[in-house]
Structures are given as structure tokens and as C-alpha cells.
Structure 1
């Protein structure tokens, strides 16, 4: 009798483990690392416009050498891959977190070079 109970319990545990499966599925996209230059918090429209005015005072495009203090990942923002960032690309980059506000020391350095 004891042998029958122990055998039944062992079979139930074995079958239960086999039917349990792998658990909950992994959410889509959670295993994909972000590209180099991790995105930061996205900027609202007003902050994006302020940063654009600092980055491209002439208002036309932003070259790669001038983008460094503002753009986290230049290749991600330059969507058309033409070597410069348009205002439209810049705004899209703001929404995706690829544009950041420069720190205070960078802003001061930029003011010094304009004078």
C-alpha cells in the first residue's frame, strides 16, 4: 500500500513538472539592448526648441562636429544619413531621447566662444 502511494505521488509530481512549461513568456523587445549612446529622457517641444537654438543658431542644419554636446547618438538622429541633422530630424530625436540638454559648463563655453 505504501509503495502504491509513493509511486502515485512520484508520478503526479513528474507529470505536473512536465506540464508546467517554461513559465511566462519574455516580453518582446526586452532582450534587445539599445544602440550605443543610450537614449535619455525625451525633451518636450519647448526644451527641444531651446536646445535647437543653441545647437544650430543659424537654424538650418546641424553638422556632426557641432552636435556633440547635444546629440547622444548622431547616427540615430541623422535618419536620412546625409551627414547633417535637419530641424525635423532633431525634433524626432528629442522625442526619442537622443537629444539632451547640455550641462551648464558647456553652455558657458559656448557663450564664451560666440563673443
Structure 2
């Protein structure tokens, strides 16, 4: 009886392993941690420019401490990975919804058209 039970268990274990196989290869980049932060409202060009001027009025790049109130995830916006956000990276972040305006900036933006059609009015 013991021999029969042992043989049955051995066959099940090896059969399951044989049918399972090696599986599919791991996709490229799937082992990286997903970035945190969900996209928010996509800012218009005018809103994006106003937020850029508010965040860093005296420079052509922003450090993480100056950009933090305006962006959801610094690493997502800093595509060059140089620990600074350029104007081009900022615009790309605006287009993807990664740049947001804080309360003070939103007050400053009152009257800034968010829709290109409103500019014509």
C-alpha cells in the first residue's frame, strides 16, 4: 500500500512539472517598480507656461525641491535623469498630466484660458 501511494504521488508530481514547462519569458522592463502618481488634469499651454514661471521664475531648470509642489512624481518628469527638470521636460509632463498647479498657482491662473478655443474669444 505504501509503495502504491508513493508511486502515485511521484507520478503526479513529475507529471505536473512536465506539463507546466518553463513558461513564457519575462517581458523586458516588467521587473521594474511602477512609478507612483496618477496623471491629473492636462494643463493647457498657457497654464503650463504660467506654472513654469511660478515654479522657477529665474532659471531654465528646476531642482526637485522647487518642482515638488507642482509635479506628482519627479522621476517621471525628469526623463533625462539629471536631477533637474528642463522646460522641455516640464512641457512633456504637462501634456501627460504629471504637472499640476498648487492652490496659489490656480489663483494666479484665473482668467488663463485652458481651452485653445477660448483664446479666440
Shorter-chain TM range is: 0.5 to 0.7
Task: Tell me which residue corresponds to 1:104.
Answer: 104
User: Is 1:83–2:83 an aligned residue pair?
Assistant: yes
Q: 1:98 to 1:105 in 2, by over 3 A?
A: closer
Q: What is the RMSD of the two structures over their aligned residues, measured on CA atoms?
A: 2.2
* Maintained 8 Å contact 1:59/1:87: no
In structure 2, the residue matched to 1:52 is 52
Q: TM-score, normalised by structure 2?
A: 0.57
Deviation at residue 50 of structure 1 after TM alignment = 0.2
Paired positions, count: 75
| Cα distance, 1:58 vs structure 2 | 1.2
Unaligned runs of 5+ in 1: 1-33, 109-115
Distance change (3 Å), C-alpha of 1:99 and 1:80? same
Deviation at 1:78, TM superposition (A): 0.2
Give the TM-score normalised by the residue count of structure 1: 0.60
Find out whether 1:94 has 2:103 as its counterpart: no
1:111 — aligned with what? none
> What is the match of residue 43 of structure 1?
43
CA distance in 2, matches of 1:60, 1:107: 24
Cα distance in 2 for residues equivalent to 1:89 and 1:104: 22
